[in-house]
Structure 1
């Protein structure tokens, strides 16, 4: 009877393995975003319009979009976001009037930049540290 009790109570190492508690995901869930980009370039300048879409089922309240500008591009001004750093790894953060993105809704931001011949667009984006699909 004693060996059965040990097995039943899991004290002999053969009992059930506890189920780990799931870790909550950030608002909007991982990868719950899509970004589309339109670049209009001329001589040594360009504008870039970015649409951020919440593809998740929860609203996003407060957002930060991170991306890397191609070499030779430097932001000179922007709209609908505040921009940290103007070249290299850039972070665009919401402003007061566009901090929430409802499910299936989009926010449009953009910037004007100078370039030294490279008019490409960023190749990846993360929204609140979650990778976004690119449309």
Structure 2
């Protein structure tokens, strides 16, 4: 009896690619994020990658959000102020699918969106009578370069601004206005600056934090 030999690269290939590694997200804005990862390996060759997305920090179902022939992908059309989780898997020419990569989580900016930029605060540290917001990230969300920005936010009642850096800052009541300086006001589309920050004092036992962050550009 004549034995049939496997055809190289044919349907007899049942070995899946290795899982993509090192999945990271960067440049997250109110409406999108950029993903990148390390290439998978395969005995025949990887033909592409499936990008999977699930809503929320937990639960939800991962569904395909797109494909890529390279080791990067830009996901757009996202909802502001929303958390998403991503995984990536590889495909080979025979249709074998790799295990999924590790999961990366992103939260789109929002609430501080007006004009052509966003302002996203990060609490660096806090204690009973004060806190530091660093960085207060300003991101250009328009399709053209901006040459200056203004961020406003509201301090809770009883809070006072005790220091700030890398912005020209004024206060009126509880409203704080921070304007760009010569070295951090020009931002290309999608670019951001993390140089801005401030420190504030508050009554002991008060755990409130500033709110109403908004960014505008001339």
Instruction: Calculate the TM-score normalised by the size of structure 1.
Output: 0.65
Q: For structure 2, list consecutive stretches of 5 or more residues without a partner in the other structure.
A: 1-113
The question of 1:126 aligning with 2:211 is answered no
Aligned to 1:104: 190
Aligned to 1:14: none
The question of 1:81 aligning with 2:167 is answered yes
Asked if structure 2 preserves the Cα contact closer than 8 Å seen for 1:84 and 1:90, the reply is yes
Distance in 2, matches of 1:115 and 1:87, equals 15
Cα distance change of structure 1 residues 87 and 115 upon mapping to structure 2, 3 Å threshold: farther
- Alignment equivalent of 2:127, drawn from 42, 47, 61: 42
- Alignment equivalent of 2:141, drawn from 55, 72, 80: 55
Q: CA deviation at 1:104?
A: 0.5
Q: CA deviation at 1:33?
A: 2.3
Aligned to 1:92: 178
Distance in 2, matches of 1:47 and 1:86, equals 20
C-alpha offsets along residues 66-122 of structure 1, whole Å, 9 cap, x if unaligned? 111122221111111111017501100111211212111111211111111434333
Cα distance change of structure 1 residues 90 and 33 upon mapping to structure 2, 3 Å threshold: same
Corresponding residue SS for 1:98: coil
The question of 1:115 aligning with 2:202 is answered yes
Cα distance change of structure 1 residues 120 and 37 upon mapping to structure 2, 3 Å threshold: farther
Distance in 2, matches of 1:119 and 1:79, equals 23
Structural RMSD (CA): 2.4
Aligned to 2:117: 33
- Going by fraction, where is strand more abundant, 1 or 2? 2
- Alignment equivalent of 1:64, drawn from 146, 150, 170: 150
- Going by fraction, where is helix more abundant, 1 or 2? 1
Cα distance change of structure 1 residues 81 and 63 upon mapping to structure 2, 3 Å threshold: same
